[in-house]
Amino acid sequence: MPRFAANLTMLFQEVPFLDRFARAAQAGFEAVEFLFPYPYSAIDIRSRLDEHRLQLVLHNLPAGDWDAGERGIACHPGRVDEFRAGVTQGIAYATTLGVGQLNCLAGKLPEGVSREEAHATFVANLRYAAAEFAKARLRLLIEPINTFDIPGFFLNRTDQAVAILDEVGLANVYVQYDLYHAQRTEGELAGTLSRHLARIGHVQLADNPGRHEPGTGEMNYAFLFRHLDSIGYNGWVGCEYKPAGLTEDGLGWRERLAA
């Protein structure tokens, strides 16, 4: 059975962020992930992880002004210095929090910038980040995101992500494969997982439509969980979904679909 990590950005939203660690542990999770630690002290987060014996398996690099609708700046030619400062900040947090991999959001294609220029910027930024990450023994992830949820997002297909990994050419860069985003953009989930398993560093889930718990939509998660086991995926699966109700009330999918 896959190992599941609670995404604290999405789950337990009825309580303040630092209180979600306790709720995750009480719900039977042994690991957590979240989008951004930066509004909080790394020491405070580490204290909650240690108190509740939780492993942190993922967080993101800084991604611009999230509240204003930005979804990453890694493909923005005019913001390379800001991106590099974010790499330094991300490594500092990762070192304190004991996490081994961080996700880099490409961002939306900036207005007035060609795809060619955005691509070149993204690749150059990834090379810089990966080299810095290697010094800290960290893995760098990139995540294709569907353009229904985030119109204009630069990186949206698995084959595009793998080609970028090849172009970057460094061994510590992987794909973060979100089953929900992949379902909306391209389908062919089992085949893609099998074909690119060696390039996939992390998997996330949510059902479609609605981005709710597994079992609430069209995706065959019982099959997908068996498939992940059969192909030898041994990483964590991040539960990055919007609970249809109270998080704890919907967690029966873990036993029902992943047994």
Active site residues: 143, 240
Which residues lie across from 60 on neighbouring strands? 103
Which residues lie across from 31 on neighbouring strands? 55
- Left, alpha or beta for 158 (phi > 0: left; psi -120 to 50: alpha)? alpha
CA–CA gap between residue 197 and residue 20 (Å, rounded): 31
> What burial class does residue 132 get, using C-beta atoms within 10 Å of its C-beta: 0-12 exposed, 13-18 middle, 19+ buried?
middle
Q: Which two tokens stand for residue 138?
A: 């960290």
Helix 80-97, helix 115-135: angle, nearest 10: 30
Give the CA diameter of the chain.
50
What are φ and ψ of residue 234, in 5° steps? -120, 15
**What one-letter code names the amino acid at 244?**
A
SS3 97: helix
CB 241 within 8 A of CB 205: yes
